[in-house]
Amino acid sequence: MPEMMLKFGHAPTLRTVLMVEETLEELGFVKTRKELLRKLPRKIMFSTLTIILCYLQSSNKILVTLSGISWIEKNNNPKFKELLRNSVRVR
């Protein structure tokens, strides 16, 4: 993440990171970043959201795929647990 901060020149505040985390945890899944921006209680810049999503993905709290953004930390969804059990591990 430090290289991302150098590229954009700033770092998001803890309050902003927690706001995005809580929103994603409540929603569970969003299709696009724009959808996530609309669902946030406060407006933030797209570049700030990108930095936060990179951080959340590197800390294994979210999964960003072509189909969308999923909250995976402490996910109690039985379908998700079954998917993890049946998935192939890549090393």
pTM of the predicted model as reported, rounded to 2 decimal places: 0.74
In sequence order, the 6+-apart residues with CB closer than 8 A to the CB of 90 are none
What HEC string does 55-86 produce?
HHHHCCCEEEECCEEEECCCCCCHHHHHHHHH
Q: For residues 17 and 37, is the Cβ–Cβ distance under 8 A?
A: no
- pLDDT tens digits in sequence order for the chain, 91 residues long: 555 555 656 789 999 999 999 999 999 899 999 999 999 999 999 999 999 999 999 988 998 888 899 888 776 667 767 776 777 776 6
